[in-house]
């Protein structure tokens, strides 16, 4: 259990800990995102891409990628003294999707990372969280050389509900990733508050 002192002489603060998933297609930058923001050395379960996996791993647009996550990435970030996020990056390939249900258990919300060069790769993640009513934010990872599109154009292409935030980000940049994570927490809290409101007739 983590305790922190807010000020000298004051009682230690026991932070609220929240679980956030980071999902998306193969090679979209999930491992990079977790590593960029984690205040601890991130846990990674990466293996080298092999000839056996070549028929299944679409490396178009990510030809420099030589490893892949086979279970999860894990990191931690303290947003403020009373709020800590545990980040769980999901594997991107279809053959590892059986792990998603385990990783999603107890999650407050999720980041669906998207690459505009291969936007269709995040359809499965969007569908997964929509079906399970897990609040999510779409983070468009702005790769160098990739075309830039406004958030509304991405929203339309993914057929997202108006309530789902779409933000442009750089998965390599700590402050950019922090902004995305803050957006997830705020969106999840708003969704929880709306769910508690009594239905009107």
pLDDT in tens, the chain (201 residues): 444 554 566 667 789 999 999 999 988 999 999 999 999 998 876 555 444 455 555 555 555 545 555 458 999 999 999 999 999 999 866 656 678 888 899 999 999 999 999 999 999 999 999 999 999 999 999 998 888 899 999 999 999 999 999 999 999 999 999 999 999 999 999 999 998 887 655
13-196: CATH number = 3.40.50.300
| CA 59 to each of CA 3, 45, 63, 127, 142: distance values in angstroms, whole numbers, following the listed order | 43, 19, 5, 22, 17
- Residues 6 or more apart whose Cβ sits within 8 Å of residue 179: 167, 169
For residue 170 the two structure tokens come to 């750089």
What separation, in Å, do the N-terminal and C-terminal C-alpha atoms of the chain show? 45
Position 95 scores a pLDDT of: 59
Rounded distance between C-alpha atoms, residue 40 and residue 6, angstroms: 20
Position 48 scores a pLDDT of: 59
The pTM score is 0.80
Are 79 and 12 spatial neighbours (Cβ–Cβ below 8 Å)? no
Chain centre to alpha carbon of residue 3: 26
Domain boundaries, the chain: 13-196
Position 43 scores a pLDDT of: 85
């Amino acid at each position: 259990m983590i305790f922190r002192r807010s000020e000298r002489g004051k009682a230690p603060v026991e932070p609220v800990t929240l679980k956030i998933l980071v999902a998306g297609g193969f090679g979209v930058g999930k491992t990079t995102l977790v590593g960029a923001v984690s205040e601890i050395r991130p846990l990674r379960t990466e293996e080298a891409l092999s000839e056996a996996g070549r028929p299944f791993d679409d490396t178009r647009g990510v030809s420099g990628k030589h490893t892949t996550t086979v279970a999860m990435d894990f990191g931690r970030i303290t947003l403020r003294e009373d709020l800590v996020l545990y980040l769980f990056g999901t594997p991107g390939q279809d053959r590892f999707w059986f792990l998603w249900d385990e990783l999603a258990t107890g999650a407050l919300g999720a980041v669906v990372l998207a690459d505009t060069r291969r936007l269709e790769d995040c359809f499965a993640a969007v569908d997964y969280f929509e079906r399970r009513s897990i609040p999510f934010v779409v983070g468009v990872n702005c790769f160098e050389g990739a075309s830039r599109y406004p958030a509304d154009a991405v929203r339309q292409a993914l057929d997202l509900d108006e309530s789902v935030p779409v933000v442009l980000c750089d998965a390599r940049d700590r402050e950019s990733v922090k902004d995305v994570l803050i957006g997830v927490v705020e969106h999840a809290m708003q969704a929880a508050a709306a769910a508690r409101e009594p239905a009107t007739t």
